Amino acid sequence: MSTDPNCIFCKIAAGQIPSRKVYEDDDFIAFHDINPWAPVHILLVPKQHLPSMVEVGPEHAALLGKMMSTGPRLMRELGVTNGFRTIVNTGADGGQEVGHLHIHFIGGPRPWSKG
């Protein structure tokens, strides 16, 4: 499994940087975002260093399927019952800030809603 010694998400996955972890297995880690956009905002991050969705190939299908099917379960466990957003930013023009593939699961009362 490839890692990047300078990547913050590789360091979090390796336990070198603390996080508010909600799930971990051999393939990926899930933790609370340090700058949440909503009451519940978690990131699912593969332990293998993948810079972005651009580098994803058929060999990553099982990993991504596992991440996408685990995310909804984690949101339910965290109390999100009225829907959530799933976001994957890809590349600089796509708003990706960390050069390691990650999936945002964002839920709870919508903070951007004025009501």
Q: List pLDDT tens digits, range 11-62.
A: 999 999 999 999 999 999 999 999 999 999 999 999 999 999 999 999 999 9
The pLDDT value recorded for residue 41 is 97
| Per-residue pLDDT reduced to its tens digit, 69-89 | 999 999 999 999 999 999 999
How far is CA 37 from each of CA 2, 11, 26, 114, rounded to the nearest angstrom? 30, 23, 28, 15
CA 101, 103, 104 angle in degrees (round to 5)?
Answer: 135
Cα-atom radius of gyration of the chain, to the nearest Å? 14
Mean pLDDT of 87-109: 95
Which residues are marked as active site? Answer: 102
Let me know: does 100 contact 88? Beta carbons within 8 Å.
no
**In the chain, where the domains are located:** 8-107
For 8-107, which CATH superfamily applies?
A: HIT-like (3.30.428.10)
* pTM attached to this predicted model: 0.92
User: 80 exposed, middle or buried (CB, 10 Å; 0-12, 13-18, 19+)?
Assistant: buried
